[in-house]
Amino acid sequence: MTTTHENPTAPASGRPPVVDLATWQAARDELLVREKAHTRAGDALAAARRRLPMVEVDGGVEVVGAQGPVPFLDLFEGRDELLVYQHMWHDGAPHQGQCEGCTVTAWQQKDAVYLHARGVSFAILTTGRWDEVAPYLDFMGYTQPWYSVRDVAPPIGGDMGRLTCFLRDGDRAYLTYTTTGRGTEVAGPSFALLDLTPYGRGEAWQENPEGWPEGNGPCWYWRTDAEGEATWGPTGRPVPQWTRAGARPVETLGRRGHHH
């Protein structure tokens, strides 16, 4: 840590103040009280969520996956509960032109083993045509089941960019919950981990101490060029794509050749 000669405990600009361990522990314990209250408030919200009513959906409607058309009920895989992420899709876009926000969520849901252990199935739905979706999945290396819900009515189809829960009762299916926007952050543990760090997500909307590094635009780190520099320009891709074979810089992004 860089310090000044005038005050050896004063950090360089944009750093937390330096204190002894006992002083730090007292401040940490004070924050812990607020963190516990936040946890309990979340528990109360979850309890209210469990008390929401539900709406019956058409469990027989066909969705299209790797094995062709199947009834929606098949996505439960014999379990009583189903959690889906509804992934946005840009028709006709190359791989690098697909939604970086949905990539954030899908990339972090590679294994549903703990959901399965609790009796919950997981799938990703999208409105893309399966003949476009399939090569994208191969390129990204996704392991979870994906299905095209093109032309399927809400809440199975319709608006994407959502986490949605369904409950099965025999051969009948019901919508129990859906969330969008920042509500989907629960599926991206990187957000919560970044929030633990001194500089957080580095976004302009954050409330920061004076002297902290200037924030960037929201989601600025979701799309980068080959050198890892954040960009929404023509050389950018959703960040995980740079780990994929053949993910070279490109000149054109987005739907039908238009820049994102």
Across the range 214-225, mean pLDDT stands at 92
pLDDT band at 259 (very low <50, low <70, confident <90, very high): very low
- CATH architecture of residue range(s) 50-183: 3-Layer(aba) Sandwich (3.40)
pLDDT the model gives residue 152: 97
Residue 87 CA to chain centroid, in angstroms?
10
Q: Above 50 in pLDDT, residue 3?
A: no
Query: Residue 1's pLDDT is what?
Result: 38
Q: What pLDDT does residue 245 have?
A: 72
| Domain limits, the chain | 50-183
Phi and psi at residue 180, in whole multiples of 5°?
Answer: -140, -175
Q: Which two tokens stand for residue 61?
A: 């409607």
pTM: 0.88
Reported as a single tens digit per residue, the pLDDT across 33-82 is: 999 999 999 999 999 999 999 999 999 999 999 999 999 999 999 999 99
Give the per-residue pLDDT at 172: 98
